[in-house]
Amino acid sequence: MLDTRPETYRFHEFDIPIPLLNMTGGGTDTFETISKIHIAALRKFIGLSWSDHVLEIGCGIGRDAIPLTKILAPDATYVGIDIIQSSIDFCQANISARYGNFKFFHFDVSDKLHNPTGVRQMTEYSIPVADHSLDKVFGWSVFTHMWERDIRHYLREFYRALKPGGKALLTCFVITPAVLAKARETNLTQFNLRFEHQMNDHCWVNDLEFPLGAIGYSPEAFRSMVADSGLVMQRDFIRGAWSGYYDDAEDGQDALVLVRP
């Protein structure tokens, strides 16, 4: 009988179907490398303790959750959220089955690119954790695919859920005229990030057909979103390498480092 099971990629003790892995981005050649970069960035920018209670938005099939099973203590907790049902199904059936303190939730949000059959709006969802229960929040390439109203909703939810002194690391695209000019000159990524479509005075998208494929905001817009949530920027934006503008880039994308007072 013909074996029709999908080819898998071995990551720690898990065999991940490659079609699911590809939905998280990067592919098998870079999957483990990106995971190590992410964990290092968490340690560097917001700290990472064995006792932390952690939330990840855009968890995919567990690229960061899986190594965190070796870092977080059994009485620490991890919550992962994603809008792709099959990714959450994999995480629940595999990661949660072995690590009971790791929980995963599907948000069936309508998204033309990532979840075209979704039926709800992001603002209809609350993060499934108690008030003031989290130590750390992070999300890679999530705010890069979100309208302002949804970013604002998430930031308010982070404020509610984080303990005083809790921190968040969230990548984004911070757009200025100088950054735009350099990005269009260098075109360093495979995604042709030129952001030629300006939606208003503080928002740019890369593709009008799929506007949430890549979306960026001005520094002033991000500062306003953060301030209105009650969170505080712990430092200026992390400088991303994506545009080629910064000689001293700190990460691939720009990022927010936030703290709850």
pLDDT band for position 4 (cuts 50, 70, 90): low
Residue 163 near residue 260 (C-beta atoms within 8 A): yes
- Check residue 23 and give its pLDDT: 87
In this predicted structure, the answer to whether residue 3 has a pLDDT above a threshold of 80 is: no
Rounded Cα–Cα distance for residues 87 and 101 (Å): 18
Residue 172 near residue 216 (C-beta atoms within 8 A): yes
- The correct CATH number of 8-259 out of 3.30.70.980, 3.30.1360.120, 3.50.50.60, 3.40.50.150 is 3.40.50.150
Residue 83 near residue 111 (C-beta atoms within 8 A): yes
pLDDT band for position 130 (cuts 50, 70, 90): very high
Domain ranges of the chain: 8-259
The string of pLDDT tens digits covering residues 62-99 is 999 999 999 999 999 999 999 999 999 999 999 999 99
Rounded Cα–Cα distance for residues 217 and 172 (Å): 8
What pTM does this model have? 0.95
DSSP state of 200: E
The string of pLDDT tens digits covering residues 148-169 is 999 999 999 999 999 999 999 9
Question: H/E/C letters for each residue in 119-167?
Answer: CECHHHCCCCCCCCCEEEEEECCCHHHCCHHHHHHHHHHHHHHEEEEEE
Residue 131 CA to its chain's centroid (Å): 21
Q: Please, where are the H alpha helices in 46-147?
A: 65-68, 85-91, 97-98
